[in-house]
Homo-oligomer: A and B are copies of this chain.
Amino acid sequence: MKNRGLVLLAHGARDPEWAEPFVRIRAAVAAQRPDVIVELAYLGTMSPRLAAAIDAMAASGVTEVTVAPLLMAQGGHLKEDVPRLLAEAQRRHPRLRLNLLPAVGEVDAILSAMAEWLVGSVPRAGSEEP
């Protein structure tokens, strides 16, 4: 039985296509960690919400849930909403271990990947077509 869970927490948007990158990340992580239940959850209008995702994992026997906010930066969501939602989940599931990862913009390897992509995305002088 899988007793570890990873919730990829995204902001959410009205447009269902918005979730596509998160669906891809979920599949990539799940493929490399078959020992972990990996699910998406959203802060906004999309389903499931964070609370429902954690409750479902707890109901399926998961004993440790890591929440990874796929948000660029640490704003009101990460300083207020997410800690409150996690505290509420902890009260509902007192024996569940809950870990919160930083925003992706706080992770050096991801910042470096973004910077590298940007450095290569601006044409260099003399490289334009004739």
Q: How many residues of A contact B (CB 8 A)?
A: 56
CA of A22 to CA of B104, assembled, Å: 11
Partner of A119, one of B19, B29, B111, B116: B29
CB of A22 to closest CB in B, whole Å: 7
Partner of A21, one of B70, B73, B125: B73
| B118 x A79 contact (CB < 8 A) | no
CA of A13 to CA of B123, assembled, Å: 30
1/0 contact trace for A55-76 toward B, CB 8 Å?
0000000001010101111111
| A118 x B76 contact (CB < 8 A) | no
| A18 x B74 contact (CB < 8 A) | yes
1/0 contact trace for A39-53 toward B, CB 8 Å?
000000000000000
Asked if A106 is at the interface (CB within 8 A of a chain B CB), the reply is: yes
